[in-house]
Amino acid sequence: MTLARTLSLFGVLVLLAGLGTHLACAQEPLYLVNDETAVRRVDFRFAGTQTFRPSRLKAQIATAAPGYFQRGWRASILSALPIIPEPGVFPFSPVELQKDIIRLERFYGRNGFLDTLVDYEVELDTSRNDVDVLFSIEEGGTVRIDSLWFAGPGGQTAMEQLDNDIKNEWLDFRDRIILQKGERLDEYRLIHLQDQTIGWLRDRGYAFADASAETRVDTTALQADVRIKLNAGPRGRIAGIAVEGAESVQPVIVYRELPFQSGDLFRQRDLIEGQRQVFGLNLFQLAAVDIAQDQPRDSTVDIVVRVREGPARYINALTGYYSDGGLTGSAQWTHRNFWGGARSFTASLSGQTGIGAVGSYPLVDYEARLSLRQPYVFYRKLSGTVGPFTRYRDDVVEVATEYGVTAALLYEHGPFRTATLAATISARTVGSDSTSLVDPSTLLPGDAFRITRSQISLSAVYGAVDSPLNPRRGFVIRPSATAAGLFFTDASYAAVGLTATGYVPLGENMGLVVRGSGGALFPAGSTDPANEEDYLALRNELFFAGGTADVRGWPGNLLGPKFLDFTSVDTLVVFETPGGDIAAYYNDRYRVRYRPVGAETKATASVQLNVPLPLGENWGASLFVDAGRVWRPAEGLYELYANAAPDFPNLPALIARFRADGETIRYGAGVGIQYLTPIGFVTFAVAGKLNPSYFDLRSPRDILVAADIEAISGAPPDFDAVDDDWVRRLQFHFTIGQRF
């Protein structure tokens, strides 16, 4: 008999001895358990109170079970998909089950439960050779804090160890600490209180402060006396600062990023800020700012900055996909120490190819940019960038090529605490040299329309979140303002915008995300969006709504006022039916689509509930409701079409029908599913229009055919006779590498 088999049989005997009366509840005798027996389900039953969620208790034990979708035929179907991992193996171990009892009792003991009783029941199904495990928990009484005080060496009180100028601050700190009299004794919160106390002292000059907790528990009264043993030590000032590990970088580059210098009062928060600033130079793989080891505990403090340089040059690339724009990608080459002084030079290329995009409106967008970044522009939190760029865009809004140069000053106070002042001069060429009704910029006589623009913009980010990559609690606010027309520009205007996002956790695994955004454009001087040329000049500044990252019930940019793109009225094929009626259709070689008009004002909002899925920890789902409105449409687009197609007799009626479509708040709702992969989230969502407009549910081809048929017959167009299409109420979204 092998050693593994011997241990397995021993484990079964241990389990049988522990079961006692529970043996009668089993479907089959447990001596039939073998090495192949698996765990099917793990549940918890509580006698009396329940303090902790089952998910937290499951994290304490070794016995684990597959999720709902990891069992039976569901696991077989899902495992056949390329991105779904294997369902895993969940063996049943009698020895581990016995250890789990001890693990749970110790967990409760660390959290203030003195006499918790944990038991279990096991049911074996020999036909499947698996077991259901049920843990029974009786929490018992909880130990409450009867007294909590701070004391130093030799019986000194905390007040006696502190300088007079911070004694009032200490009293405020003591009154709002994480643990108070009457609360349950909690080991985690006790450790947190120790760290909180040390951090408070070190932020006020006590570089060598230390604290530890001591508890005395009255098991009869279920009360605890807690003493925080506090040794503040001397209050110190910074004496020397040393830099270790810098090779190609001069130490002065590191010194200037530190928010302290010799002679300053020691503050722990300054060390943390200095570490963030040094690492933010993008020169080092590692940056650590700390107190030097083996120094006397006196009123002077030596600081050491340890860095490890990374490669001076590096290349990175990213790729992804989302349904509006198809395959996307970006690549950049960076020199981290260009010409010395921690300057960085970057050449980048990003592309939204439209390859594989879903729908009739692929968004194609390419941008190339050179950028030189200068850190420490008169101040360690202020940096500057300058560089040229060029951009090509072909989407439902316009076909345009743009080139220019941007200079910016960036102020960084901390994570999600930034402000940027930027100036841009650019020239944008819209359309082509041939006249086409597909591109309204070519409806004017002459060459393609060129627009020169100079603008100054101010933007900021202010927020606080628990995790920069996957936040569940906190908020982020992003205001912006732009002014153009001071010099070298074809349009004068001002614009403001605001986006706010809030994250609210709902329990351990659920969360709510609330977003709101809005903006307004204010034409200035003689600039008027109702004018044909001004409309083209302002096209980049107008507001649009709809799409994967906006109101998800609508295609990209197509919520709100819209009109038709059509190649030529000659593409209509007209014929007479056997009954004598006139019918028509468009040849499929020609494209007819909606074009967003754009507006001077926009507001959107979204509420999304994120929930876990029982497929594994990388799976999640979302339920969302979006709303949006764009109003004050730019009438210049209609004027362009009205002047460009005089041979289309029903064009005025067509324009009037589009203008009559109400500017109202549109609502959408939907569901999504996400899976976290090594390259980011893979997300699929479907959204529906709750109150679509007339044109949202009707094909642009059918609208144009109806107008042309009536023109041929001599009657005014009857747009109400065009049937709606319920499929157009739905909008699908798929992304790789980003979340909604």
Measure the CA–CA gap between 563 and 451, rounded to whole angstroms. 23
Secondary structure (3-state) at 587: coil
Q: Which CATH superfamily is domain 237-309 in?
A: membrane protein fhac (3.10.20.310)
| Distance, CA of 159 to CA of 263 (rounded, Å) | 26
Three-state secondary structure call for residue 324? coil
Quote the CA–CA distance of 248 and 92 in Å, as a whole number: 57
State the pairing for strand pair 223-231/284-291.
unpaired
Q: What is the mean pLDDT of residues 560-577?
A: 62
Spatial separation of the C-alpha atoms in residues 346 and 334, rounded to whole Å: 4
Query: What pLDDT sits at residue 53?
Result: 86
Secondary-structure class of domain 396-736 per CATH = mainly beta
Give the residue among 454, 441, 460, 342 at the shortest CA–CA distance from 399: 441
**Angle between helices 636-644 and 651-660 in degrees, nearest 10:** 170
**Per-residue pLDDT at 704 exceeds 80:** no
Q: Which of 284, 294, 290 is nearest to 245 (CA)?
A: 284
Is residue 235 within 8 A of residue 300, CB to CB? The reply is: no
Measured between alpha carbons, how far is 566 from 655 in angstroms, rounded to an integer?
A: 13
Q: Residue 10 is encoded by which pair of tokens? A: 């021993």
* Range among 40-44, 47-51, 519-523, 574-578 with highest mean pLDDT value: 519-523
pLDDT score recorded for residue 10: 43
Domains 144-231 and 396-736 share a fold: no
Reported as a single tens digit per residue, the pLDDT across 144-192 is 888 888 888 777 788 888 889 999 999 898 888 767 778 888 888 888 8
> Which 8-state DSSP code applies to residue 528?
-
pLDDT reported for residue 429: 83
pLDDT at 398 over 90: no
Query: H or E stretch including 320?
Result: strand 313-322
Average confidence (pLDDT) over 689-704: 89
Write down the pLDDT at residue 285.
87
Average pLDDT estimate for 5-13:
42
pLDDT tens sequence across 597-646? 889 999 999 999 999 887 767 788 999 999 999 999 988 888 777 776 65
pLDDT score for 513 = 94
Better-predicted residue by pLDDT, 407 or 16: 407
What average pLDDT does this structure show over 658-665? Answer: 84
* Beta-bridge partners for 124: 131
Report the percent of the chain where pLDDT is more than 70.
83
Nearest to 737 by CA among 169, 327, 141, 182: 327
Q: What is the 8-class DSSP label of residue 185?
A: P
What is the CATH architecture of 3-138?
A: Roll (3.10)
Average pLDDT, the chain: 83
Tell me how far the alpha carbon of residue 50 is from its chain's centroid: 33
For the chain, domain boundaries: 3-138, 144-231, 237-309, 396-736
- Average pLDDT over every residue of 393-419: 87
Q: Does residue 399 have a pLDDT over 60?
A: yes
Query: What pairs with residue 454 in β-bridges?
Result: 425
Question: Which of residues 644 and 120 earns the better pLDDT score?
Answer: 120
Q: Which two tokens stand for residue 150?
A: 């701070």
Distance separating alpha carbons of residues 372 and 386, to the nearest angstrom: 6
| 381 and 412 Cβ atoms separated by less than 8 Å | yes
The answer to whether 675 and 83 are in contact (CB under 8 A) is yes
Q: Output the pLDDT for position 34.
A: 83
Three-state DSSP class for 40? strand
Reading the block at residue 258, the tokens are 């530190």
Reported as a single tens digit per residue, the pLDDT across 311-335 is: 889 898 888 887 777 888 899 999 9
Residue 728 identity (one-letter amino acid): R
The DSSP annotation for 359-399 comes to SS---EEEEEEEEEEE--SSSTTEEEEEEEEEEEEESSS-E
Of 191 and 445, the one with more pLDDT:
191
Interatomic CA distance for residues 433 and 523, integer angstroms: 28
pTM: 0.73
- Whether the predicted pLDDT of 569 surpasses 50: no
Domain 144-231 top-level CATH class: alpha beta
Q: How many other β-carbons are positioned within 10 Å of the β-carbon of residue 57?
A: 21
Residues contacting residue 401 through CB under 8 Å, at least 6 positions apart = 390, 391, 392, 393, 428, 429
